[in-house]
Amino acid sequence: MTKKFFVIPLLCFCVGFSLFAASVTEDSFFKDYVSKNWTTEDGLPGMTITDMLQDSKGYIYVGTYDGVVRFDGVEFTTYSRAVDEKYDFATAHTLFEDSDHNIWVGHNDEGISCLYTDGQVKKYTVDDGLVNNKINAICEDLNHNIWVGTAVGPCYITPQGEVLKPQLDGAVADKITVGDMFCDTAGRVWISTGTDLFVYEEKIIKRFPGFATLDSRAVYSVRQDKSGALWFAVGPCYAVCIKNGEETVYDVSHPHKKPSSVSMIMQDSLGNYWVACDAGVTVIHNGMFSYYDTTNGLPDDGATVLTEDNEGNIWLGLNRGGLFKLSRGKFLTVSTESSINSICEDVTRGVTWLGSDNGVLCYENGKFVDTKLGTLTKGLRIRHIGFTKDNELLVSTFSTDIPQICMSANGNIKTWSVDDGIVGNRDRVSIKTSKGDYYVGTAQGLTVIYKNGTIDTISKRLEMENTYIMWLYEDAESCVWVGTNGGGVYVLKDEQIVKHYTTNDGLAGNVIFKIYNQGNDIWICTGTGLSILNQS
């Protein structure tokens, strides 16, 4: 049988990682997100984003002072009269997709346009019955009327194309400068102005009576979460939630800057609440607050609009910073109080075990939980943890009292020490062989705990030149591969050395960190490169 080494050179090789603990800070939540910013250099016609939505086809539509922009993830396409006379408008102040998937565009002093799915465009102005041509908000009610919020008040366009003006309560002024509108699941249309709040129900617009715990009436927008609770963006720095008659007020001020206005609130698919304001973005999650602004990566503090796409990405429209996207990364950062040296998955219990410099940690359902093993090992430096084929968890530690630990499948714990026969108290790794014996690799040598309970340090009688054991692996032929700290790899069969591989045989390095197999290949991770031993 021919055996050849293939060396894979590495410019930089890392054999471990550390996670550092932190109490919940203003930016810890965002470490699991990857950001991307698009500006005029990428094709945006302007840096000010007035509104944004994702349509039913997946396109991102962006409102700018230079028209409507459609983004497919690669290219920007602008719709305005400057590009095509078919689109008889210059600005896009607000955007809305109706239940028939038509895109409505509210303009700055140019009325409102509907971009129909068949490619036709229809425009409404004061000549068609609009109360004003400056359009600030659009929404659709349960009767499929399109509500248009203007600088002097609301009106609505019926499915037949007729423009009507809703009735106002006697206490409501004739002119309302609409800032935002929203129709809730009960059919009420909420009309916010930035200085007051009104609601259309029972065919009349009434003034909202106010909040029980907050004096401010400066409501900028209203939204509804998946539970049916209503969320109010209230100036200068509040998010107010009303659910089942109970009112909760959240101060969303940023540590570095107090906002003067809160533009909108959005609940994402994970249940987090995103609040856009002129100080950046605040996220309310699991009872905690996280902040995103120019101090930790946002190009502009002026967050005007938020939306989540169908892939879970969060899109932000900025006042002077263009279009910004936050994507959840493929990696989730989990903070710990000490360095992590080893990790293994416990499929049976549905948890993950982590060997740290402060004992064994157990991670379950997104949080660390207390365990008997964790209590036993608290304060110990754990060098390796791993499961046997019969679901025993082996723990190797640097400890004068219990350098080697075994937790059985039913949770019983057994320990071994130097007094029991372990050659040293600095255990690096341990495995259970197919014969049922435990091989324990230490900084002082290799100890075997036999199935019958006897213990022997076989590295002494084998006269191994290097007895600092870094890794152990048993192959399909019941050979135990022993990686050392500077002495290469020993291959043992029936407790006898049958092969010794070093750099003289083509091994990339003599300091061995890991050994695994794939097919007929043995992969050996060294301190200076990765080697593959082909056994075919």
377 membership: H or E segment, kind and range:
helix 372-377
What pLDDT was estimated at residue 258?
Answer: 82
Distance in angstroms (rounded) separating the CA atoms of residues 131 and 125: 8
What pLDDT was estimated at residue 10?
Answer: 42
| Mean pLDDT value across residues 202-209 | 95
What pLDDT was estimated at residue 343?
Answer: 97
Phi, psi torsion values for 484, nearest 5 degrees: -115, 170
What is the percent of the chain with per-residue pLDDT over 70, rounded to a whole number?
95
The token duo for 163 is 């423009």
The token duo for 449 is 């705990």
What are the structural domains of the chain?
Answer: 4-12+335-534 (2.130.10.10), 32-43+211-330 (2.130.10.10)
| Mean pLDDT value across residues 282-289 | 92
The token duo for 268 is 């994402």
| Mean pLDDT value across residues 19-25 | 29
The set of residues, in sequence order, having a beta carbon less than 8 Å from that of 356 and lying 6+ positions away, is 336, 337, 338, 339, 340, 341, 382
**Cβ atoms of residues 110 and 91 within 8 Å:** yes
| Mean pLDDT value across residues 266-293 | 94
Q: From the centroid of its chain, how far is CA 440?
A: 39
| Mean pLDDT value across residues 330-346 | 88
pLDDT over 70 at 339, yes or no: yes
pLDDT over 90 at 239, yes or no: yes
What pLDDT was estimated at residue 189?
Answer: 99
| Mean pLDDT value across residues 189-200 | 97
Per-residue pLDDT of 301-323, as tens digits, reads 999 999 999 999 999 999 999 99
What sign for the dihedral angle of Cα 293, 294, 298, 300? positive
Output 339 or 13, whichever has higher pLDDT.
339
**Mean per-residue pLDDT of the chain:** 92
259 pLDDT band, cuts 50/70/90, is confident
347 pLDDT band, cuts 50/70/90, is very high
What pLDDT was estimated at residue 3?
Answer: 60
| Mean pLDDT value across residues 428-437 | 97
Look at 29-33, 357-361, 405-409 and tell me which has the smallest mean pLDDT.
29-33
Class of residue 309 by CB neighbours under 10 A (exposed 0-12, middle 13-18, buried 19+): middle
Output 143 or 254, whichever has higher pLDDT.
143
What pLDDT was estimated at residue 132?
Answer: 98
What pLDDT was estimated at residue 534?
Answer: 86
Per-residue pLDDT of 49-91, as tens digits, reads 999 999 999 999 999 999 999 999 999 999 999 999 999 999 9
pLDDT over 80 at 16, yes or no: no
pLDDT over 90 at 28, yes or no: no
pLDDT over 60 at 9, yes or no: no
| Mean pLDDT value across residues 353-382 | 96
